[in-house]
Amino acid sequence: HYILAEDYHQDYLRKNPSGYCHIDVTDADKPLIDAANYEKPSQEVLKASLSEESYRVTQEAATEAPFTNAYDQTFEEGIYVDITTGEPLFFAKDKFASGCGWPSFSRPISKELIHYYKDLSHGMERIEVRSRSGSAHLG
C-alpha cells in the first residue's frame, strides 16, 4: 500500500538533477567487490602470519574442533573477511546460530565471493566452501 506523495515531492529528479536518487546505471555491471584488490599472499607469508591452526584450516582444508572458534558465538555488527586476503565475505547480519559449532551464514555479501566444490571424502558427499581470492577453506 502507498499514498501519493505531497506536491513538493513530485518530479523530484527533474527539479534536482544532482539529487541523491541519481545512480549511474553502468555501475550495476561492476563487481560489488573487486578481486584485484585482494591478492593471496605467498605460502611463506601465510605460514608466518597465520596461527598454525588457521594455516592448516585455510590452506590444507583441516577442520577445527566444533565450538572452539572465537566467532561461533559472536553476533556483533560488522563484516567477516577472508583471513588470508582481507576480502569481505559475509555481513554479520547474515550470521545465524546453527548449533553446529562453527560460524554459519545465510548468504555471502555477493555470490561471486564464495566458490563451492563437491567433496566426496570420508565416504560421504559434502560441499566445500572456499573464498574467491584467497581460495581459503571456509568449511
pLDDT tens profile 72-95: 999 999 999 999 999 999 999 999
Give pLDDT tens digits for 125-138.
999 999 999 999 99
Per the domain annotation, does 28 fall within a domain?
no
Helix (H) or strand (E) run with residue 114 in it:
strand 114-119
Indicate whether this model's pTM tops 0.95.
Answer: no
Mean pLDDT of 97-113: 94
Residue 114, classified by CB atoms within 10 Å of its CB into exposed (0-12), middle (13-18) or buried (19+), is middle
CA gap 7, 9 in Å, rounded: 5
Per the domain annotation, does 2 fall within a domain?
no
Residue 83 belongs to what domain range? 34-131
Per the domain annotation, does 29 fall within a domain?
no
Per the domain annotation, does 24 fall within a domain?
no
Which comes out higher in pLDDT, residue 54 or 28? Answer: 54
Per the domain annotation, does 21 fall within a domain?
no
Per the domain annotation, does 114 fall within a domain?
yes
**Looking at residue 52, which CATH number applies to its domain?**
2.170.150.20
